């Protein structure tokens, strides 16, 4: 009981199911330490305490949040807006291509964001540097493999609707570059690196036509890989289905007719910009699209430069003399990617918040009917026969119109597809901000007014004690800590108020 009370008092937990998940994990820990299960009556009493006392005291939400699913139409809409209509500012032009490539790989592989970008944390929740050991952090959905009953949206994916871009804050160390040793031979990040990608030129089986490009991407550092280093066997399947070696999952890609949907062209553009291809004359893409392999050669592997193998494909924009450039080594932070994604969904006109797990759920639902259960679990990196997909990823909107089945009539597939994906309520004309005249007509937030009054009183008291340099002078004192805590509370309340105001007006 004390453990659950501690969680509710000290952590940002809003949902009943999230606290219940902590209880289940505590029972597992109890079993591991003591060698036997918790007494059934004791477990019932703890659950009763959670269900009554804690749920009422902390106003825990019992309803599940909606878990939207992206479809092919949604990803095309997002990419079209990103390339053709988006007026948002990025710290460097490379970040446009980076965001589009991550979105394509996310929807085509169903990978978790930590497999593409850096979602690790160091001690005390601070961002890790390259020299600190990385520890795994669960993603925004905290995708628990046991029952998936956690609260999506809490944590790293918290939306940012402030007018100021995060990289404008010069105190934010995420946009500071990290030193790296160019002679290093060790891989520093678990996110996608060049050595995980194999780009091929494949001889076209149709005579007289140009050769084709193919790509393999291997994900080795998926969730739980360090705890479960064992292989599992799957039957042979159709093309574009991943193959598994040990704990790795390899996905196959081919060219798409529309470049906006082609993952190979996006990855190739990044590689050419980085100068990663070892072949001479590879400073542009034309030689790769005009090759003509002859019998008996079936395919040729495009090699990366040895010094590029350990380099992350997606890298952070960092400051350099008050300007921004793409880091040579520092991997893109998950918080930065989540900010880009949330901002894009908001600008495109999506009603529901766009997160990385919208892509993962979209992948799972797309392959659910087209592949076997074993292949679907392999794509999502789920343990076989655990039922995680049905509990956490299956579209809450039934992908079947029972009315048509009862009336023995065909179903309009376009109608069904529209109602089961996020873009149903998308409106590109939705307002992005709240007009000043609407803000002026609103009454002040009473909680914010009270906090600012307390802050002003404490500020005057600190000035009387420590002078104009009271911020530095009060460090280590109880009054100084109270003042800084008030500042944090004001920032939190302001952010929450702004977010709710924009959502309601929208």
DSSP sequence for 235-271: ----TT--EEETTEEEEEEE--SSGGG-HHHHHHHHH
Concatenated DSSP letters of 307-361:
GGTTSBSSEEEEEETTEEEEEEEEEPBHHHHHHHHHHHHHHHT-SSPP-HHHHHH
State how far the Cα of 119 lies from the Cα of 370, in Å rounded to an integer. Answer: 31
Tokens of 427: 């409106």
Tokens of 257: 């007719």
Pair type for strands 248-254 and 243-245: antiparallel
Three state DSSP letters for 46-113 = HHHHHHHHHHHHCCCECCCCCCCCCCHHHHHHHHHHHHHHCCCCCCCCHHHHHHHHHHHHHHHHCCCH
Closest residue by Cα to residue 393 from 363, 353, 413, 423 = 363
Q: What is the pLDDT of residues 287-312, one digit of tens each?
A: 888 888 888 889 999 999 999 999 99
Q: How confident is the model at residue 235 (pLDDT cuts 50, 70, 90)?
A: very low
Taking the model in full, what pTM does it have? 0.79
Residue 157 has pLDDT above 80, yes or no: no
Q: Helix or strand or coil: residue 120? A: coil
Q: What is the pLDDT of residues 442-463, one digit of tens each?
A: 898 899 999 999 989 988 888 8
Q: Helix or strand or coil: residue 328? A: strand
Q: Helix or strand or coil: residue 140? A: coil
Contact 17, 61 (CB under 8 A): no
What is the model's pLDDT at position 84? 94
418 against 186, higher pLDDT? 418
Contact 192, 115 (CB under 8 A): yes
Tokens of 443: 């009454």
Residue 153 has pLDDT above 50, yes or no: no
Q: Helix or strand or coil: residue 324? A: strand
State how far the Cα of 41 lies from the Cα of 65, in Å rounded to an integer. Answer: 31
Closest residue by Cα to residue 378 from 240, 256, 253, 189 = 240
Q: What is the pLDDT of residues 109-120, one digit of tens each?
A: 999 999 999 988
> Distance of CA 152 to CAs 224, 335, 355, 362, Å?
20, 15, 9, 16
Q: How confident is the model at residue 224 (pLDDT cuts 50, 70, 90)?
A: low
What is the model's pLDDT at position 473? 77
Report percent pLDDT > 70 for the chain. Answer: 83
State how far the Cα of 345 lies from the Cα of 1, in Å rounded to an integer. Answer: 40
Q: Is 167 exposed, middle or buried (0-12, 13-18, 19+ CB in 10 A)?
A: buried
State how far the Cα of 174 lies from the Cα of 141, in Å rounded to an integer. Answer: 22
Closest residue by Cα to residue 310 from 128, 129, 188 = 188
Tokens of 331: 């991997």
Neighbours of 212 (CB within 10 A): 19
190 against 359, higher pLDDT? 359
Contact 150, 21 (CB under 8 A): yes
Instruction: Determine the average pLDDT of the residues in 214-225.
Output: 84
State how far the Cα of 498 lies from the Cα of 506, in Å rounded to an integer. Answer: 12
What is the model's pLDDT at position 163? 55
State how far the Cα of 75 lies from the Cα of 73, in Å rounded to an integer. Answer: 6
Closest residue by Cα to residue 253 from 202, 304, 296 = 202
Tokens of 333: 């932070």
> Distance of CA 359 to CAs 78, 356, 480, 481, Å?
12, 6, 44, 42
**319 backbone dihedrals φ, ψ, rounded to 5°:** -80, 145
Q: What is the pLDDT of residues 68-111, one digit of tens each?
A: 899 999 999 999 999 999 999 999 999 999 999 999 999 999 99
> Which of these ranges, 30-39, 221-230, 243-252, has the smallest mean pLDDT?
221-230
Residue 142 has pLDDT above 60, yes or no: no
Instruction: Determine the average pLDDT of the residues in 359-385.
Output: 89
Contact 334, 45 (CB under 8 A): no
Q: Helix or strand or coil: residue 465? A: helix
Count, in order, helices (H) and strands (E) of the chain.
Answer: 18, 7
State how far the Cα of 7 lies from the Cα of 348, in Å rounded to an integer. Answer: 36
Closest residue by Cα to residue 153 from 59, 20, 51, 61 = 61
State how far the Cα of 60 lies from the Cα of 18, in Å rounded to an integer. Answer: 9
State how far the Cα of 479 lies from the Cα of 468, in Å rounded to an integer. Answer: 15
Neighbours of 39 (CB within 10 A): 10
Concatenated DSSP letters of 419-469:
HTSGGGG--TTS-SS--HHHHHHSPP-HHHHHHHHHHHHHHHHHHHHHGGG
Instruction: Determine the average pLDDT of the residues in 348-364.
Output: 92
Q: How confident is the model at residue 469 (pLDDT cuts 50, 70, 90)?
A: confident
State yes or no: cis peptide before 377, omega within 30 of 0: no
Q: Helix or strand or coil: residue 202? A: strand
Residue 252 has pLDDT above 90, yes or no: yes
What is the model's pLDDT at position 197? 95
């Amino acid at each position: 009981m004390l453990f659950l009370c501690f969680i509710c008092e000290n952590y940002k937990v809003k949902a009943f199911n999230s606290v219940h998940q902590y209880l289940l994990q505590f029972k597992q820990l109890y079993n591991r330490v003591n060698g036997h299960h918790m007494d059934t009556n004791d477990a019932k009493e703890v659950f009763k305490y959670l269900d009554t006392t804690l749920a009422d005291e902390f106003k825990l939400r019992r309803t599940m949040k909606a878990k939207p699913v992206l479809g092919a139409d949604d990803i095309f809409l997002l990419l079209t807006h990103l390339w053709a209509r988006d007026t948002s500012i990025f710290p460097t032009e490379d970040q446009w291509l980076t965001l589009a490539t991550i979105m394509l790989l996310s929807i085509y592989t169903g990978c978790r964001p930590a497999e593409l970008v850096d979602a690790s944390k160091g001690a005390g929740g601070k961002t890790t540097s390259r020299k600190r050991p990385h520890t795994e952090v669960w993603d925004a959905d905290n995708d628990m493999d046991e029952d998936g009953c956690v609260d999506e949206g809490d944590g790293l994916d918290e939306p940012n609707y402030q007018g100021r871009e995060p990289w404008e804050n010069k105190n934010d160390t995420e946009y500071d570059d990290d030193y790296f040793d160019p002679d290093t031979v060790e891989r520093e990040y678990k996110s996608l690196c060049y050595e995980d990608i194999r780009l091929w030129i494949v001889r076209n089986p149709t005579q007289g036509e140009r050769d084709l490009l193919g790509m393999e991407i291997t994900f080795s550092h998926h969730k739980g890989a360090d705890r479960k280093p064992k292989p599992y066997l799957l039957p042979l399947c159709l093309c574009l289905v991943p193959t598994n070696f040990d704990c790795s999952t390899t996905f196959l890609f081919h060219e798409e007719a529309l470049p906006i949907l082609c993952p190979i062209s996006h990855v190739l553009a990044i590689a050419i910009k980085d100068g990663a291809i070892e072949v001479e004359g590879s400073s542009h893409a034309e030689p790769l699209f005009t090759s003509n392999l002859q019998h008996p050669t079936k395919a040729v592997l495009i090699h990366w430069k040895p010094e590029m193998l350990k380099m992350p494909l997606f890298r952070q924009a960092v400051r350099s003399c008050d300007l921004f450039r793409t880091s040579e080594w520092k991997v893109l932070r998950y918080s930065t990617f989540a900010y880009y994604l949330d901002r894009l969904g908001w600008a495109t006109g999506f009603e529901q918040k766009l997160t990385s797990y919208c892509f993962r759920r979209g992948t799972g639902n797309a392959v659910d009917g087209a592949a076997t259960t074993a292949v679907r679990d392999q794509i999502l990196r789920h343990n076989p026969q655990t039922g995680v997909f049905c509990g956490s990823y299956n579209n809450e909107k039934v992908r079947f119109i029972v009315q048509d089945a009862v009336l023995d009539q065909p179903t309009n597939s376009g109608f069904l597809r529209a109602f089961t994906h996020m873009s149903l309520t998308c409106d590109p004309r939705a307002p992005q901000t709240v007009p000043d005249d609407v803000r002026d007509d609103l009454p002040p937030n009473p909680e914010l007014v009270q906090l600012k009054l307390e802050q002003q009183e404490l500020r005057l008291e600190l000035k009387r004690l420590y002078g104009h340099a009271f911020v530095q002078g009060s460090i280590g004192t109880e009054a100084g800590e109270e003042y800084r805590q008030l500042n944090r509370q004001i920032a939190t309340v302001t952010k929450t108020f702004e977010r709710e105001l924009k959502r309601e007006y929208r």
